[in-house]
Structure formats: structure tokens, C-alpha cells
Amino acid sequence: MSQTGEAKGAMNEQLYSRQLFVLGREAQERLQSCRVALAGEMNGLAVEIAKNVMLAGVNALTLVDEGAACQAGDLAANFFVSEEDVRTKRGRVEAVVEQLRELNALVSLETMPVADFTLDDAGMGRFDVVILVNGTRARAEAYSSFCHTHDPKAIAFIAAGSYGVYGYTFSDFGPEFTVVDPDGELNRQGIVLEVKASEDGKDLIVLTADDRHHGLEDGDFVRFRGVGGLEALNDGEPRRVRAVQIPNADGKTVDGLAFAIERGADSLDAGAYTGGGHFEQVKTPRVVAFAPLAETLADPPCVQNDWTDFSRPAKLHAFLLKLWAFQNAKGRLPRPGDQTDASELAAIDAASAGAGASVVEAQDGELCELLGRGAAGQINPMAAFLGGVAAQEVLKACSGKFTPLQQWLHVASPESLPVPEQMGSGFPSLEDLSAHALETPDARYCGQAAVFGWDFQARLGALKVFVVGAGALGCETLKNMALMGVACKSKGGALTVTDMDAIELSNLNRQFLFRSQHIGKMKSVVAADQARNMNPDFEVKAMESKVAPDTENLFNDAFWAGMDIVVNALDNVTARLYVDSKCVFHGKPLLESGTLGTKANTLPVVPNLTESYGSDPVQDEGGEDIPACTLHAYPNLIEHTLAWARDAVFEKFFNLEPAEGREFLEAGSVEAYTAEANRQPNTKLARVRTARAVLRGPHEDDHPEKLFPYNVDLSPALEALQAGNDKPLRRTCVELARMRFEELFVNKIAQLLHAHPLDKTVDDQGTLFWSGKRRPPKLETFTPEDPLHIKFVLSAASLFAQVYGGVDPPLEVAEVREILSRLDPLPSYEADDSVAVPENDEEAKKLQKEEEERAKAASASTSDLFQAELAKLTSSSVELPKAVHPQVFEKDFDLHMDVVYAAAAIRARSYSIPLVDQLEAKRIVGRIIPAIATTTAATTGAVALELYKFLHEGSPSIERFRAMNMNLATNSYASFEPTPCKTRKFGKEHEISLWTMVNLRGNRSVQEILDYFMDEYSFEVNTISTDGDVTLYNDLFGQEDRLETPIADLYRTVVGKEPPYFIMLNVDGDFDEDYDDDEEDDDDEDGNFDEDEDEIVPPACRIDWQAQVGEDED
């Protein structure tokens, strides 16, 4: 058994929950039956692949032991090799195997001597996937050939290599490989509003919801269910879709609101459509073919990944062929920083190395020299990036999900390298890389210094870095920086990481610094400790606070001013925007990234060069708002019923109502509770009734909807519970859950259909009320044999019991059924004509307003009723419970999801809405962002490659930086220059951008500030404000007496508090007359800022009021 209590091969849904939202259950099951072998160098790239494969949860991973010992060059990229391992010459596989095993006890991790890894069924033939890391050309060709031709089934072969700032991944999954889902995206689904014939009569046009794009494209397939009058469509057969355009509500012809399907042999009659129906996209498997590695070398099928140089894949392929040729001839790689070796490498004839005409034509001698000088080095960022990509290929091979790499991915980041003149002459030798002595503290970085030189390494160590977030991205980022030698104590550097969350079981699958023994501990603290273990010189401080406006006392101006660079490792847009705004304010570089399943984006934000993240933020993946009436009466999608179950069932019965009972208990006295309730007279009666219902039991007259015609007395059960007997409470909770079932799924539906009968029409044409988006519901008839019914009662009863302190042992299905069998039948519900069910949100608001007016008019009777309810609470001889325990929804708590899922599924079935399984329901309700370790690793590797660029000497060049959009599922790796920041003229001689800030030192007077803007910009300031809209000076208000007041003193007087480290001022005004007369209205020739030229937007002004008056700058 494992540390999670699961047998090897079993699926732990809580552990794999975020990954399951990426792969799906079937793909995860296939993955867990897969055996993988990892051969070649056990370097940083290999351990990255192994780490990601272990976290993913394959059946077994075998490390092929080459017998090599740990060496100094490993420490810059292999996070499981320690300095002691190097000194003692410990075997590489031995050094990492136990630490890899800790990552996932559900995976069998084995080792095998390379001598046993033979090209036959006794060796390599035992595996489903074989990976070769940094192999020679001959070895790669041999492995690929054996795997490709293996009988009866090909073995998936993946080759990967990392050489300085260059690396590659290659995939060969055999002559035929079936892809069951090419992109992994959720199947599109929606409602059918109408079916009509096309103009030529050959197709059926299916109209879908008019408020959301159906998401389908030409060639997609869908299946239908519940389409009224056209039952032949509901046969479950996939039908090919053709996208069509129709007019929207505004009369504009648009895509996404309808699609066409062929009428086919059925000759379906569109006129027979009677209403209803849903469609769901169906993914169709396809077979792809691969060639063995040897056959791809001359004319390689490469993934295009650099939008700034479309010939780069071919250039890099030529480099690899030359590198392999050099290695074969010399028995080694080029010496670090050695121009002779680099020139010899570049001079190798690409054609003689096996390149075809297109590769020969693309070869770039200068690029070969640049990459060759560092090819013997190993850097963690490249290992992390390729480790994510190669491990994702393993997942594709095992699961059949996503599109495999076809077939080469070459990546390089020569832009990360300083220009040769800035590198200096200090490079480690090949002997230094293979040494074991570690004679200096910096020797651990020799693998990276072989690429960048020793001078550059010292700059990394001195950095002051702020990492925001210690989750998946944060863990990988801390690991990367520890290995890179960023923020080292010996160099005066430091890194601060903050995260306010504690570690949970579901984190362990992708936040690889955490283990099961860390569950419940703070993420930032554990992540910092784990990263420090990788590099004892890594100076990292952990904080446990969020970065937000309400923590600016911690993360103040002095804190931000002390940072050299900021790295976002966040999972929500709001926090990203806030951090981005602070970086712009303080002029700090920001490395931004985000992931969503297999998709990711990275963005380097460079002061005074690029746009910020806030200039064009990635939109939040949060759910769309659902109209209230759709939620409560007219759902048509599973998202609607799940939102209702979360809010109207879980939150209402198990959180909000118990919270009101707790408020009464914690008030301390009736007088205190009354005083507090009187502050909101319109709600006090509802509140006290809720408190009484929770503490004494609900009554039939509690709510005007009259949907709960039952009376429950909780007092005997709660009194028995206080005496140590929970049996009455067990029965009462089951009874209450059964009554709530009747209220929600029988009475509520009966009242709705009474208010709006099935034959109700809404116009003179006879249009039925229950048509279009409205789907008529059906009443449920409770039976304990229905799995959803019993699941609802069991989970609801269990939660009611927890509200009152819990029962031991927990309720089980058999006991619940037994209690139900002894309950009296519930009386039949009689619909009430006086209870209105609004048709839409506007009518609901009108009814609510009328109810509020009636409540105001009846204020006297409300007070009497309030007192009567208080009497019911306090007059009984049975004591009130000592406490009640509101339940705060937690998506990873099975009992919470059980009641939400059961309620949502019963309601969906009532409304003929297709169901989803509980795992998918959990994703929707919890708004869970799908996540997988492979994407995280690749993303942070790309981010770390950008970090190097901020340390180049001289002014940064935007041409060197790269933003990236990637999708590991579809092999999309788009690298491009970030967008330059827009500029506009302000005054005659100044150009300003979002980064422009007027920085004034000293406690300047208002007059000095006015004078500065006049002298520098010919701009006459008439208003100065701060803190958003607090006016410090306005010349229209006759405030001449403020002109000589120092700004900090004026801030104290007007704002009423001590000034911050920097006082931020917004100024307004106009250019003086001489400027206006002189200025021409020239057209903007460079395309920047094409807004209204009459708009004057002055730059912001920042006052460092505690500094000495000195030279100011903008």
C-alpha cells in the first residue's frame, strides 16, 4: 500500500484530480497501465522527465543505469543530485532513485543495468515507451529502429537532448498510432432551439442558444439527445457539422449560433420538430504514421516555434547533425567558450553529416558557433522546458490523448546569451565539468558557467527577487532559481516568496516540492525549505501573506524598491493585475506566466520597452453569470443545475442558515441579538425565523413560498445528543433530508407547473411558454432504490448531522434506508394560487420590490412576529444547543460534492438535461483550473530563459526578449517578441508611456511641483490629487495658502494619515499659451496612440518625500 492508502495501479482521484481534468478518466487509466524506460545520461533533463512521468502516474518507470557517477556539471540542472553525491562519486541513478520514488508511491520505480537493456523482448521489448536522453546519433537510430519495427506492437520512442541553450525532442510512435482525442479540449455542448430546413432542402439547420457561441467548426461531429419530433436524430450516431451564419438579435449575420447537418437517408422532416434537445460534440479517433529517426534526419518534419525566424528549426537541425558528427569524431563535446572548437563545429559539412538540401541551405555558421561554445554545459531552464515537453510525449504515447509531436521540436535561446564581448574569458573546462572535488563554492554552477561564463554567474547570485505564489508555478520557479544560483547569500542576493495557502493532497500531483508529510503546512515555508536543500547558498525568505492592497503595510514601497525582478506564479487574473501595477509603478521587470491544462503563456515585462501584463491581460476563466430565473426555475444546461445546487442547496441549508443560528447563540443575550437585528429592519423577521428553524426546527409557515408544508422539532434529538445519545439525531437528520428532497424536487416543480402549465401560451400565435430555452420539468417520485435519491438523502442527512456536531459512526446507506422505511408518508403537496413564479429576472425584481414595500407597511406587525419567534426560541424547557457548525463548501471534500452533485443531477434529470459525472461536476462547481506537471515545468523553463536576459550589460533590447504561447497537447510553441509599449508626445520634447513617471526627491512644496511641470513641460498644473480622488490642491478653490506647504505636510492634513514611502500624485491642467500657439496638430506617423489628440494625459508624479532634494528624473 502507498502513503496515500492506495494500492499500486489504483486511481486516487483526489491526488490526480487536477490532472484528471486535463487527461480524463479513460486516458488516466491507460496511463496507469503503461511501462516506461528512461535511458541515456541521468542529467538534469532526464530527472526532469522522470519527475514529470512519476507525478503523472504511469504504472512503472525503469531507470536504465549507465554506471556514470555524479559530477560537478550535474549540479546546475539535476535537482536531486547533492554536492555530497558529487564528492563521493555516487552513481547518478543511485543518487536520484529514492527521491523520485517519494514523488508518487503509486508508481513502481525500478532500475536496470544498461547491459540488460538489450534490443530484444527481454530488454527494451518489455516496455511501452522508451526515452533516450542525450544519446549519440548511432544509439538514437538503433533505439528508434527497434521500437518502430517491434512486433506485434510498436514501442513509442522519444529522444531528447539538452546542450547549453539548445535542445530537442523527437517522437516516433510507430507505423500506425491511434489518437483518440487530438486536442483534449472539453466536448462542446449546448441546447437546440429550433431545427429547420436549409434553402436547398439538403441540410437541416440547427439553431442553438443565442447568447453563447456553440464552439463548433466545419468537420466536427455531434450527437443529439432529446430532440422532440425528430427521434431519428437521437440515435446516438455522430453527425458531421457544417458551420453556418445566421442573423443575431441585432440583425447582424454572425457565426456560432447555428450549424448544418445533412438530412441523410432518413430524409428528416424539419417541420416535425416539436422542441427541446441537446447536442454534444464527439471526438473521432484518427491514425497517424511516424518514420524512424534515421529516415527523418535528411529532411526533418519540424514544428515551427519561432515566429521571428521561420528558418530556425532547419538551422537548429543542422546544428544537431554537426554536433553529433563532432561528438562522434572527437569523443567529446566542444570545450566551453572555446572559439577553435566552435569554429571547427560550424565548419563541418552539413551534407556529409546527413542533412538534405533544405537543411544545408538553412545552416547558419554564426549560430552554430554561438551554440557550440556552450554545448557542453547543462542549464536548468532548458532541462525544465524540454523535460515538460518530452514527458508530455510520454503521456500521449501511453494514453492516446493529444496530438503527438510530428516529429522534431528544436528549441534554442541564443538571445539568453550575452554578446560574446560581454562573456569574458572565464569558462570552466571539460575537466571541471566532470570533476568531483568542488574546490570552490561556485564550482556547483560550472554546468551553467560553461554556457554563460563565470562573470555572468556572479550577477545571477546578487539578484534580489520576489516570487509571488508557491503553488505549481512557484515550486518549479524556486527549484529553477536555486539551481541557477540566483539570489545567493554569498553574493549578497536574496529571494522572497509568499503564498497564503496550506498544502493539500491534490497539490502533490503537480507541486513537486511537496510530499504527503507536508500536508497542512504552509506552501511558501515548505517550498523555501525544499529549494534551500537543493542549494545551501540559496537565500530564500518565506512569507504567508497575499499580495494585495490590504497588505501594503507588508509589501510597501521600500519592499518593492529593494527588488531587482519580480516573478508571478499566480493562478488568478486579479492578483496578476495588482502585481503588474506595482511593477509598473516601481519600474521593476516582471516575468509573467500562466497555465490552463496543457496550454500556457509567458510574458517578459521590460520597463520602458514593453507593454505590461495589464495592457492586455489574459481573460479570467471564471464562469459566466447565470440569470437568477434561469438558475431557480428555467435551467437548460448542467452548469445551471450545478450552480443552483451549490447556492440554493448547499449554501442555503448547510452554511448560511446555520450561520444565522450561530449568530443568535454567539450574541450572548436576546437583547444583544435584537439590537443587532434592528439595524436591518427589513430582514430581521426572516433572520430570526431562520435562527429558530436551525435551533428548534423548521415550520411550515416559515417561508411565503409554502414549499415546505412540514414541521420538525429538533429539540428532543439535540437534547439527547447533549446527553451522549446520537440515535435520535440520526433519525431526525434523515427525516429532514427526506423533507428537503420533497421540497426541492417535488413541491417546487409542482408549484412551477401550476403557475406555468404545459399548455400556457405567450402570444396570439400560440407560442408555448415552455419553448425555446425553457424546458418543462417533471416531478420526481422518491424511491430509496434510486441511486441519486438515496445519495442526496444520505449526504444531506450527514451534513445536517455535522451542523449539529456530528454523529459517530457516520451514517451509511443501509441505515438511512432502514430509517426511511419507518418514516410516515409525507402529505401530498397542494399548489397555491397566491405563490407567483416570475417568468424572468425583471419580473422577479418587481415582485421583490413589492414584497419589500409590503414589509415596510407592516413594520408594526413585523415587530410582533419578531418577538413571537424570539419566544419560541427561548421559552422551551429544552436548552438550546451549545453550538452549531456552518459548513463552508470545499470542492475536495467528498461529502460536500456528494450533496451538490446529487441535487444537481436530480434537477437536471427533471429538466431533461444531459448529466455529467461527479468529477466533471467538481470541475464546474469548483471552477477548477485544470493543471498538469508537464505544462508547469515547460512554462517555468521558458520563464527562466528570459531571466538571463535582464542581466545583460547595457540598455536592454526588445529584440532579445521572447513571449510565448504554447499548447503541449497540439505541439504549438509560438515564440515571439513582446509588444512594445506605446508612446505619445507630451509637451514639445517629451515622449511618455505607461512607464513614464515624474520622480521628485524631497518634501517639495506645492509651488515647487507646479514650477517643475511648467519648466520641464510648459504644462500649467491647476489640480493635484492623490489616493485616487483626494484633492490636495485646486486653483479654482482659492487655495493659494497651500502653495508653500510641503507636500507631505499637506498629505497629513488633507488625507488624515501618515504619508506612504512614495506619495503618488495625479496632476491635471493645460499647456501654457506660448506652447499652444507654437504646437501644430501633426498626424501621428508611427502609429502610436491613435486616440483623440485633444486629450491631455500628464505623466504620474511620484514624490520621494523623505529623500534629500536632488536631481529629478522622468
Same domain, 934 and 901: no
pLDDT tens readout for residues 733-750? 999 999 999 999 999 999
Same domain, 673 and 766: yes
The DSSP element (H or E) to which 1030 belongs, if any, is: strand 1030-1034
pLDDT confidence bin for 661, thresholds 50/70/90? very high
Q: Is the pLDDT of residue 831 over 90?
A: no
CATH code of the domain in which 204 resides:
2.40.30.180
Helix intervals (H) in 466-550: 472-484, 523-534
CATH code of the domain in which 745 resides:
1.10.10.2660
Q: Please choose, from the candidates 99, 7, 29, 926, the residue with its C-alpha nearest in 3D space to the C-alpha of residue 504.
A: 926
In a domain, 564, yes or no: yes
User: Maximum CA pair distance of the chain?
Assistant: 100
Amino acid at site 594: G
CB count within 10 Å of CB 866 equals 20
Same domain, 1024 and 959: no
The residue among 928 and 421 whose pLDDT is bigger is: 928
Same domain, 898 and 990: no
Distance CA 355, CA 359 (A): 6
Angle made by CA atoms 284, 287, 290, in degrees to the nearest 5 = 150
CATH code of the domain in which 580 resides:
3.40.50.720
Q: Is the pLDDT of residue 855 over 70?
A: no
Q: Please choose, from the candidates 423, 428, 441, 448, the residue with its C-alpha nearest in 3D space to the C-alpha of residue 489.
A: 441
- For 372, counting Cβ atoms within 10 Å of its Cβ (0-12 exposed, 13-18 middle, 19+ buried), the class is buried
Write down which residue in 282, 314, 335 finishes a domain: 282
pLDDT tens readout for residues 101-130? 999 999 999 999 999 999 999 999 999 999
Q: Is the pLDDT of residue 5 over 70?
A: no
Residue whose grid cell is 528549441: 411
pLDDT of res. 1091: 42
Catalytic residue set: 629
Q: Is 232:239 a contact under the CB 8 Å cutoff?
A: no
pLDDT of res. 858: 56
Distance CA 905, CA 920 (A): 12
Residue whose grid cell is 529514492: 98
In a domain, 595, yes or no: yes
pLDDT of res. 860: 54
Q: Is 716:878 a contact under the CB 8 Å cutoff?
A: yes
Same domain, 814 and 761: yes
The mean of the pLDDT values for the chain is: 91
Percent over 70 (pLDDT), the chain: 95
Residue 732, domain extent: 636-912
Q: Is 974:307 a contact under the CB 8 Å cutoff?
A: yes
pLDDT of res. 1090: 44
Residue 543, phi then psi, degrees to nearest 5: -125, 160
Same domain, 476 and 522: yes
Q: Please choose, from the candidates 435, 530, 439, 536, the residue with its C-alpha nearest in 3D space to the C-alpha of residue 485.
A: 536
Provide CB contacts within 8 A for 864, sequence distance 6+: none
Distance CA 754, CA 742 (A): 16
pLDDT of res. 1087: 41
Q: Is 939:473 a contact under the CB 8 Å cutoff?
A: yes
Q: Record the pTM.
A: 0.90
In a domain, 163, yes or no: no
Structural domains counted in the chain = 4
pLDDT tens readout for residues 237-291? 999 999 999 988 788 888 999 999 988 766 677 778 899 999 999 999 999 999 9
In a domain, 949, yes or no: yes
Pairing relationship of beta strands 108-113 and 60-65 according to DSSP bridges: parallel
Q: Which three cell numbers stand for residue 978?
A: 513582446
Same domain, 193 and 241: yes
Same domain, 606 and 710: no
Q: Render the burial of 917-932: b for 16+ CB within 10 Å, e for the rest.
A: ebebbbbbbbebbbbb
pLDDT tens readout for residues 974-989? 999 999 999 988 877 7
Write down which residue in 254, 282, 310 finishes a domain: 282
CATH code of the domain in which 1026 resides:
3.10.290.60
Same domain, 641 and 708: yes
Same domain, 987 and 964: no
pLDDT of res. 617: 64
In a domain, 92, yes or no: no
pLDDT tens readout for residues 663-683? 999 998 899 999 998 888 888
CA 861 to chain centroid, in Å, comes to 52
pLDDT tens readout for residues 227-245? 998 988 998 899 999 999 9
In a domain, 932, yes or no: yes
Peptide bond into 152 cis (omega under 30): yes
Write down which residue in 223, 256, 282 finishes a domain: 282
Same domain, 241 and 219: yes
pLDDT tens readout for residues 19-69? 999 999 999 999 999 999 999 999 999 999 999 999 999 999 999 999 999
Same domain, 835 and 750: yes
In a domain, 304, yes or no: no
In a domain, 522, yes or no: yes
| 175-179, 502-506, 684-688, range with greatest mean pLDDT | 175-179
